[in-house]
Amino acid sequence: MAIQIFQSIKEALGNLNPDEIRRHTERPVRLFLYAHTGPDYRRMEDFFAPAALSDAKRSELRYLIYRASEGVSPQAGNDLEICFEDSPIRSRVVEAPNVFAFDPANPRATVDQILKRRPDLAIPLAMHILPFRQEVSRRIIKKVARENALFSLASAIPDIVPFISLPWAIGEFASDTAFLTANQIRMAFLLAAAGDRDFGYREQRNEIATVVMGAFGWRSLARELVGKIPMGGGLIPKAAIAYAGTRVVGLSLERFYRIGARYTREERHIAYQESFERGKKMAAALLNGLQSKLPGRAAS
């Protein structure tokens, strides 16, 4: 059985190419800052280029962050214009897709604005502009954990599968374990990229081995729960395990890429308990949504 699972995971990984993520990370992005005064510029620069950055990283940002007065003009596409609260271009925020407001009392709101309107730039921004990194990583973990919970439910309700769309679900998967594990490895690639770390099968072989070995534990627990709860009642715990297992893997990887330390056993346990409770609520909502798509249910 273990050999079959390993084989199915290997086949699933055939649909996962880190070069696709690498091409996405190479998208150029620049920030153009607008303000009336030098102190206002500095407040923006201190947020987007914190003092804790290394000299090498600060030197790199010279080609990514510009004052509007420096004579370099933004181009259409991936150049983002950020204006201080009383900047002359503030009125353009609503009209222009690449213009954003900077509130010195709540600068994190600018990060949320940009990621909401330009999610295609999330990974390049996280790689290069530190204030984006943790929020982008959080969103990656949340999204992939939700995808795994959704797949765990949908694969148990065959009529639903045609209604779901996941970003790289190409072809048929031999088992839930194969998809969930491969999607966790995809998450590892994304988190490493967002953390400005090397990523890929060779670069992350230790992390990938940990994810693959951990898959057997989540699989056994999910099967045990589904088997003990009659009449399909185990679907929500099963999906909650997929969510919780993925989220804990993601949280531990994010910390590793951020500070070089993984979760301890106790921290993993605490994070799993919290994630499982969160996953049950999400799974219940997802199941209701999926069941509404069953033939004969949509109109009822």
DSSP H/E element including 188: helix 176-194
Q: What is the pLDDT of residues 149-178, one digit of tens each?
A: 988 887 766 555 444 555 555 445 556 788
What does the pLDDT average to over 266-294?
A: 85
> Which one, of 215, 232, 261, 233, lies nearest residue 8 by Cα?
215
Name which of 8-12, 256-260, 292-296 the model is least confident about.
Answer: 292-296
Give the separation between CA 28 and CA 121, rounded to whole angstroms: 9
Question: DSSP label at 118?
Answer: -
- Run of H or E residues at 266: helix 265-291
CB 250 within 8 A of CB 140: yes
Q: Spell out the domain ranges in the chain.
A: 2-23+130-291, 28-122
Q: Provide the pLDDT for residue 231.
A: 43
> Among 199, 24, 249, 200, which residue's Cα sits nearest to residue 123?
24
Q: Say if residue 49's pLDDT is above 80.
A: yes
134 burial via Cβ count (<10 Å: 0-12, 13-18, 19+):
middle
Q: What are phi and psi of 128, to 5 degrees?
A: -105, -30
Q: DSSP class of residue 74?
A: P
Question: What's the rounded Cα separation, in Å, for the pair 101 and 109?
Answer: 9
Strand order in the sheet with 79-84: 65-67, 30-34, 79-84, 99-102
The CA-atom distances, in angstroms, between 180 and each of 68, 184, 278 are: 46, 6, 18
Integer Rg of the chain from CA: 22
Phi and psi angles of residue 221, each rounded to the nearest 5 degrees, phi first: -65, -40
Classify burial at 213, counting beta carbons within 10 Å of its beta carbon; exposed 0-12, middle 13-18, buried 19 or more.
Answer: exposed
Residues in the chain: 300
Spatial CA neighbour of 15 closest among 179, 188, 250: 179
Residue 290 near residue 157 (C-beta atoms within 8 A): yes
Give me the mean pLDDT over the 191-213 stretch: 92
**Res. 275 pLDDT band, cuts 50 70 90:** very high
Q: Kindly report the pTM of this predicted structure.
A: 0.85
C-alpha–C-alpha distance, residues 56 and 296, integer Å: 61
pLDDT at 23: 87
In whole numbers, what is the pLDDT of the chain averaged over residues?
82
Q: pLDDT (tens digit, 9 = 90+) per residue, 221-233? A: 555 555 454 444 5
Q: Over 90: is that where the pLDDT of 235 sits?
A: no
Query: Which among 233, 249, 245, 149 is positioned nearest to 192, based on CA atoms?
Result: 249
Q: Torsions phi, psi of 126, nearest 5? A: -65, -40
Report pLDDT for 244.
92
